[in-house]
Each structure stands twice: as C-alpha cells, then as structure tokens.
Amino acid sequence: MGRILIFTGKGGVGKTSIAAAHAVKAAGEGRKTLIVSTDMAHNLSDLFMMELKEEPVELMENLHGLEIDPNYEMERYYGTIAKTFKSMLTFEKPKDSQIFEDIVVFPGIEELFSLLKIKELFDSGGYELIVVDCAPTGETLALLKFPELFSWYMEKLFPVGKVAMKVLRPISKAAFKIEMPDDRAMNDIERLYVKLGQLQALLKDRDISSIRLVTVPEKMVVEETKRNYMYLNLYNFNVDGLYINRIIPGDAVNSFFHDWKLIQKSCLEEIEAVFANIPVYRVKWYQTDIIGVEGLQRIVQDSLGDENIFKVLKTTLNETFTKTEKGYRLDIYVPLAEKGAFDLFESGTEVIIKIGNFKRNIPVPNTLRKYRMTTARLEEGVLSIDFE
C-alpha cells in the first residue's frame, strides 16, 4: 500500500530539506516516489535546481516532484465553487450562530485544493511514497483541520440532498443572510463534499498517512512544536516522528558556539524526554546550506539510516469509545495538554473540545446518543470523558 509522509514545522526549521532528503533516500532505494510542495512560496525548484510545475516532473530516477498551485487545481476541477464560497462568506454575521463562528476561522479556501490534489495523486496509484513538504506550522494546522471543519460546516449548511436543498433555500437565505449557491455550483459542492470525506479518511488512515514534525533545538521553536504535536493529536492525525535539525556538531570548537551548545543541550534533553514515545532523529548543522541531490544525500547518510523510516512508526489509537458500567467512555489522546485548558460541550450528536483557538468536533456514534456527558479528566496525556 502507498504511504504519505507529511512534514510540518515552524518557518525555516528545515522542512523542505528534510522532506526532500526522505524523497531522495526512498528513490535511491528503488521506491517510486513523489515529492509535493503545498507551500505557496515554493522552494523545491531551488533545492533541486530544476523547474517544477503544477504537474509532476522527473527529478531523478524514481523521483518526481511537483509544486501544487491551488488556484490551478481549483479552476481545473471546481470552477464555480470558489466563487460561490467567496460570495457566501461575505455575509452579515448573525448572532450566536455556531456555524458562522467556524466559517470565519477558515483561511483561504484555495489551500484545500492542495490536499485534494494529493489525494488524486495517491489514488492514481503511480507512487509508493508521497512526501509532502508543507508551509510553516500555522498554515499546515489550518490546512489539515480544514477538511473536517469544512465537511462539518457543509453538513450544517447543506444537511440534506439536492432536492431538499431547493426547498430549504428560501429559509436559509432568510435565516443566514447569505447567497445560496446556484444549481451548477451545487453539483460541484456535492462532489467536493464527497471528496472531502474521502480526503479526511485518507489523511487519518494510520496505515497510509504519517505526520512528521521538524524542529530545531531552540526554546521557542520547541514550545511551538509541542503545541503543534498536541493539536495534531487532538485532530486525530498520526504524528509518528520528530526531526531535530541544526544541531551544532560536537567537534565545532569555537567560542561563539559555546553558549549555543549549552542551550541546544538542554533543549535536546527536553525534546527527548517529551517525545519519548515517538522516534526522534537528529540532523546536524552543516557548514553550508543544502542544495541538490548531493546535499540531500548528506542528510540521508548522516541521519536517516533507520531502515524503518518510511514505515508507520507509532500505532496507538487517539480516539476510542469504550463501554463502561454505566455507559461509555471516550478517550482522546492529547499529549502535553494542560489541565484546565479545555472547554467541553456536547450537542447531542457530537462532543466539542476547545483548547485555545482550536476546536474539535467529535461525532458521537448513533447508538450512544442517549447518554450524557458526566465527568472528564486528564491523565498522562489522555482526556477521558464519561457518558452515562
């Protein structure tokens, strides 16, 4: 089965370099590999010193690359949709409407089309491994939670099929003060809706998709990496590897580096302790920047020797419903989350968990809907919610 490795992290930490090093390693071992950049500020072209396009081009034997142009994707497949959504989003915000609170947290809808392209490439079956080089953290998080959020909100806005939609239209218009899409767009919307469901399933399929975090040993970056790890887990993605980049080599003897080495040492210790349950790979700080396949080979040789590196490196489940004496329990893995940082709500059909600016709606299986949330506790990174 094909695999997808998604690399994410703060700006400038080395995502593109480390993602590309994986791609070069995989291709070198004979795997049909594709490297994809979803960052609007593409730099795979610079790295491989070749012009990449919005469709795959060959970079070396067994390795293709492309720089996704979300606007191109959107125009190509969903012509009317974007316009429709954009016009829908310029509405007057009604008071206390949950739906609209969610819409406003959407970044540019264009981003979504990068992910749909990845799904299309995966489905084409032409690649054993797809390596995804993402934009800096914030955008990736938004991007990854987007399909779920988007599906959720489409369900709320368009809860039923097309026929009912026609009936509903006058009501929606009055209630929400937005322009409802015309029939042509509606077909596109339904098509998109189905694809989004499949996309979510793909990105959360633990046998296929892994998220890998890239960080550097600096306090602030490490803090962001920890938050990122928590949120990705909250959204039920399988984060199964961490890369610490720009580690000053032990033999660098220079007074300038002396203090930096101490800072790095304490950060490295913290990272190893915090991320003890996933593999941590170390990449040293090279004397020159990383360019071309040769430059990438250095990273492969020095740091990516693990023969299992393309496999699923962690297989624990993040979200489980278990039967209890009085009802059932929902366990959610949210490593590094702090006690009291949560807000919990239930809406009959879903459990809503809020941490900081992030909100996750977990659908409750039909058979369990007659139960009510009673208690919640956080222990060792697992949030357990009892329903009775």
Ligand X SMILES: Nc1ncnc2c1ncn2[C@@H]1O[C@H](COP(=O)(O)OP(=O)(O)OP(=O)(O)O)[C@@H](O)[C@H]1O
Binding site for ligand X (CB under 6 A): 9, 11-17, 39, 43, 136, 245-246, 283, 285-286, 289-290
Q: Quick one: what does residue 279 bind among ligand X, Mg ion, none, with the CB cut-off 5 to 8 Å set by partner type?
A: none
Kindly tell me which of 46 and 58 has the beta carbon lying closer to Mg ion. Answer: 46
Kindly tell me which of 245 and 318 has the beta carbon lying closer to ligand X. Answer: 245
Residue 32: CB minimum distance to ligand X, A: 23
The residue number with the shortest CB distance to Mg ion is 16
Report the C-alpha gap between 248 and 27 in whole angstroms: 28
Report the C-alpha gap between 230 and 212 in whole angstroms: 13
Q: Helix axis angle, 219-234 relative to 137-157, nearest 10°?
A: 20
Report the C-alpha gap between 324 and 347 in whole angstroms: 21
Q: Quick one: what does residue 195 bind among Mg ion, ligand X, none, with the CB cut-off 5 to 8 Å set by partner type?
A: none
Report the C-alpha gap between 278 and 333 in whole angstroms: 14
Site size for Mg ion (CB under 5 A)? 2
Q: Find the part of the chain contacting Mg ion (CB under 5 A) among 13-21, 98-106, 144-152, 273-281.
A: 13-21
| Residue of 3, 4, 8, 16 that binds Mg ion (CB under 5 A) | 16
Report the C-alpha gap between 73 and 71 in whole angstroms: 5
Residue 233: CB minimum distance to Mg ion, A: 23
Name beta bridge partners: 358: 355
Q: Quick one: what does residue 245 bind among ligand X, Mg ion, none, with the CB cut-off 5 to 8 Å set by partner type?
A: ligand X
Kindly tell me which of 16 and 236 has the beta carbon lying closer to Mg ion. Answer: 16
Q: Find the part of the chain contacting Mg ion (CB under 5 A) among 15-23, 176-184, 231-239, 321-329.
A: 15-23
Residue 188: CB minimum distance to ligand X, A: 31
Kindly tell me which of 16 and 264 has the beta carbon lying closer to Mg ion. Answer: 16
Report the C-alpha gap between 371 and 354 in whole angstroms: 21
Q: Find the part of the chain contacting Mg ion (CB under 5 A) among 12-20, 58-66, 209-217, 377-385.
A: 12-20
Kindly tell me which of 16 and 238 has the beta carbon lying closer to Mg ion. Answer: 16
Residue from 18, 17, 22 nearest 310 by CA? 22
User: Does the CA dihedral 286-288-290-295 come out positive or negative?
Assistant: negative
Residue 303: CB minimum distance to ligand X, A: 9
Residue 206: CB minimum distance to ligand X, A: 25
Q: Quick one: what does residue 69 bind among ligand X, Mg ion, none, with the CB cut-off 5 to 8 Å set by partner type?
A: none
Ordered alpha helix ranges (H), the chain: 15-28, 44-48, 70-88, 98-104, 110-123, 137-157, 162-176, 183-204, 219-234, 255-274, 292-303
Kindly tell me which of 15 and 204 has the beta carbon lying closer to Mg ion. Answer: 15
Residue 79: CB minimum distance to ligand X, A: 30
- Residue recorded with tokens 């299986």: 365
Residue 59: CB minimum distance to ligand X, A: 16
Q: Does 17 bind Mg ion (CB under 5 A)?
A: no
Report the C-alpha gap between 194 and 189 in whole angstroms: 9
Q: What is the DSSP string of 273-291?
A: HHTTTS-EEEEE--SS---
Q: What are phi and psi of 289, to 5 degrees?
A: -70, 170
Q: Quick one: what does residue 17 bind among ligand X, Mg ion, none, with the CB cut-off 5 to 8 Å set by partner type?
A: ligand X
Q: Quick one: what does residue 28 bind among ligand X, Mg ion, none, with the CB cut-off 5 to 8 Å set by partner type?
A: none
Report the C-alpha gap between 274 and 224 in whole angstroms: 13
State the binding string over 203-242 for Mg ion (x if CB under 5 A, else -): ----------------------------------------
How many CA atoms within 13 Å lie on the side-chain side of 294? 3
Summarize as ranges the residues that interact with Mg ion (CB under 5 A).
15-16
